[in-house]
Amino acid sequence: METVVLVEGSNEGKFEETGLEKNNSALSSPKHVADPVVYKLVRVEGDGRLVPATDDELMEVEGLLENEKREIHIVADTGQALGCTSNEVSSSGIQLESSEGLSQSENTEADAEKLSARLEYIEEMLHKVKHEERLRLSCRSPDHSSAYMNVDSHCSEQHDKLLGIDQKLQSQIPLQETVLSGTQCMSDNHVTQSGSVGERSKPLDELIEGGSSTSAGCISSKPDFSKLKGEICLDNLSIKELHEVFKATFGRDTTVKDKQWLKRRIAMGLTNSCDVSTTTFVIKDNKLVKKVKEDSCNNVDGATSEDHPVVGVENHEDLLNSLSSQIDEHQTTSGMRLGSNSHENTYSEDLAAEQRAAKRVRKPTRRYIEELSKEESKEYSGRLIPSAKNIGIRPMALKSHARPARNGSLDGRTIITRLDSLGGSGIQVPCVYRVRRSRPRKNVMALLKFHPSGMGMTTTFVKKGLDVHSSQMDNGSGNKVLEARSTPEQTLQQFVAEPKKEKPAAELGQHMGLKHVNLSGDSSDDNVVTVPTAKGGTRRKHHRAWTLSEVMKLVDGVAKYGAGRWSEIKRLAFASYSYRTSVDLKDKWRNLLKASFAQTPVDKGVNSRKHPSMPIPAPILLRVRELAEIQSQVPPNLSASKLAACGGRSVNETRSGYL
DNA sequence: GTTAGGG
DNA sequence: CCCTAAC
């Protein structure tokens, strides 16, 4: 922190996080002008900004080139290796050989030219190699690859940012000095932050465990990670030891003798294999140093834009989310690029292209799709679907949606949910699906709407079914609709309908237990049906019949906390019913009121309702009515007659009772 | 983020 | 159940 460099670094990070871009501009262009001799690899930030590559980035290129092929092969073979390797490759893809780059940059222009030429070459090579790999990845278990890609992408994203920051530092000082000062600051930083680093270890572990199962594969075999905690210094290890660590880390052997390379590699691997660590640590001079500033953390939690990485760990899911969204954004905007005409630009474009390609392979997140649809629908509605498809919606949809057990019982659901949350079918699920209670955004609707083939037909069909509108009918029609759809649509349909995610495992468990107790048969959750709106838009109706117990809880809740305090009731009385929102409660109460006052008085319709909807026992209705009267919740229209009959006492009764 | 109300 | 306006 003491060193100028460090300070700048942290500042940079902050700015970047904050979204201030002047720094970047200042760095890339001005800098470039000032020192034309220094050609650097540049990469495009998530938001499209150009960020100079860092020494770290430059670091491995050479070794990478040497090992590229070998690694790729490995990748092709094992899923695990695949994940790990993809990480490495992707991250290394943006790297250039440092020692050379540095040394050359400080030389004459002639050297610089050479360098640039070389960089170009390297770029090409990397490009090709990466492309190859991508192809392979995409060919192989798309699930895995995509999943990995996800993780990896976000990792690299982070990494890039970090590197970008480093680079800035570097670019502002003589390169040689950079190294030194870098080391210097690192050690300083090291010392000052050692405490935090220690703290960090725990969350890190958690993350590793809680992280995607896929990445876990790589991480699991990384016993030596402990060595990285606290001090995180591989310097003391011999090459042999490094090899061991390497193997432990990546699950494969390496023939590389270069100590530096190994150290870096290991550090990288460890870092990349862990979502958070990337954010938290900066790899520099063969040491993992706690990063001063977190980019991603901020994204996740703006308030936590402090020097404490721990924050980021808290909700890595969100982290992933935000990251993915970032990536998405990047993806959509990657098309446009800064229009300068420098060499850097050329490189950056290459990189950009490269990245784009990489991302293309990546499975799009739901968020992405949504946003994409939104964006594109404005301009090219026709192209919308195809593009989405190409990006890989289908595999994902099919995959994540693979739930024959949908109709299954509670157990079935449990399993399914688990799959979803654990990523049994795909890592991405947890991060992507988790948040939303599953109501697709309008965008998605739009997406559906735009779907070329037979959408219109489907729509009408659905509508028909919907019109019948009985809870049961709903389901039936819904399923029919799904089945009726043509393949492509089905994919989409499923994709859209899929969402019904039940939440975090913990809650789920609880929920499950309670559920069993309920007499309800609603356990057949996910009566998710997409229904067309009158305007042509579709919306998903995700129906879940209210169970008696739920109703009772609701009534109790109202009695306790008062009608209108839905959030309270939801939180306190419906804690276990994750799917009931306060709005739901409110709606239900409204209905209950209606029902109670409509039927109870005469006692005629009490249970006589033959409609599919669950009949509400008279007692409950009675109670509802009482509560309503007590709280003057009586529906206006009904209250008139009813209250009048009762003597209108409730008129003066205010909610004060519970207040 | 909640709540109320219409659809 | 969805959507939105209003808070």
In chain A the domains, ranked by start, together with CATH numbers, are 4-315 (no CATH), 366-543 (no CATH), 548-657 (1.10.246.220)
A316 CA from C4 C1′ (Å): 32
CA neighbor of A501 nearest in space, from A560, A568, A573, A578:
A578
CA–CA distance, A552 with A76 (Å, rounded to integer)? 57
Q: Which nucleotide's C1' sits nearest to the alpha carbon of A588?
A: C1
Contact flag, residue A574 CB and nucleic strand B, below 7 A: no
| A439/B7 CA-to-C1' distance in Å | 17
Task: Name the nucleotide nearest A583; use CA and C1'.
Answer: B3
Q: What is the pLDDT of residue A614?
A: 61
DSSP state of A293: S
All protein residues with a CB under 7 A from any atom of strand C: A 439, 442, 445, 539-544, 546, 579-580, 583-584, 587-588
Upper half-sphere CA count for residue A84 (Cβ side, 13 Å) = 30
* Full DSSP string of A546-588: PPHHHHHHHHHHHHHH-TT-HHHHHHHHSTT-TT--HHHHHHH
Give the pLDDT of residue A532. Answer: 52
Q: Is the CB of A575 under 7 A from strand B?
A: no
3-state secondary structure of A51: strand
- Contact at 8 Å (CB) between A546 and A479? no
Quickly count: other Cβ atoms within 10 Å of residue A63's Cβ: 20
3-class secondary structure, A50: strand
pLDDT < 50 positions in chain A: 1-49, 51-114, 121-122, 129-130, 132-133, 135-232, 271-528, 533-537, 603-609, 611, 638-659
**Cα gap A243→A392, rounded to integer Å:** 37
The rounded distance, in Å, linking the Cα atoms of A340 and A53 is 17
Token code pair at residue A571:
């939180």
Distance from CA(A583) to C1'(C5), angstroms, rounded = 14
- Could you report how far apart the first and last alpha carbons of chain A are, in Å? 54
Question: So what's the pLDDT on residue A348?
Answer: 39
Paired tokens of A596: 């109670």
Give pLDDT, residue A530.
53
Which pLDDT does position A260 carry in this prediction? Answer: 80
- What is the b/e burial string over A92-117, where b = at least 16 CB atoms within 10 angstroms of the residue's CB? bbbbbbbebbbebbeeeeebbeebbe
Closest nucleotide to the alpha carbon of A587, via C1'? C1
A110 touches strand B (CB under 7 A): no
Does nucleic acid strand B have an atom less than 7 angstroms from the CB of A566? Answer: yes
Angstrom distance (rounded) from CA A40 to CA A37? 9
A451 phi and psi, to 5 degrees?
Answer: -55, 125
Give start and end residues of each alpha helix (H) in A42-108: 55-59, 61-77, 79-93, 98-105
Segment (H or E) for A530: strand A527-532
Question: Cβ of A567 < 7 Å from strand B?
Answer: yes
List the A635 CA – C6 C1' distance (angstroms): 21
* Strand B close residues, chain A 441-470, CB < 7 angstroms: none
Which among A76, A122, A121, A75 has a CA at the least distance from the CA of A96?
A: A122
**A636 and A648 Cβ atoms separated by less than 8 Å:** no
Which contiguous run of DSSP H or E holds residue A637?
helix A636-646
- Among candidates A630, A627, A622, A590, which has minimal Cα distance to A603? A622
CA of A387 to C1' of C3 (A): 29
A570 CA, B1 C1': separation in Å?
14
Distance of CA A111 to the CA centre of its chain: 43
Nucleotide with smallest C1' distance to residue A539 CA:
C2
Give A563 CA → B5 C1' in Å: 15
Residue A46: name the closest of A452, A330, A271, A292 by CA. A330
Say if CB A71 and CB A88 are below 8 A apart: yes
The nucleotides of chain C lying under 7 Å from a protein CB are: 1-4
The gap between A540 CA and C1 C1' (Å) is: 9
Q: How far is CA A361 from CA A137, A150, A153, A496, in A?
A: 8, 10, 11, 21
Residues 6+ apart with CB under 8 A from A374: A441, A443, A446
CA–C1' gap, A584 and C1, in angstroms: 8
- The values of phi and psi at residue A117, to 5°, are -60, -45
Helix (H) or strand (E) holding A225: helix A225-228
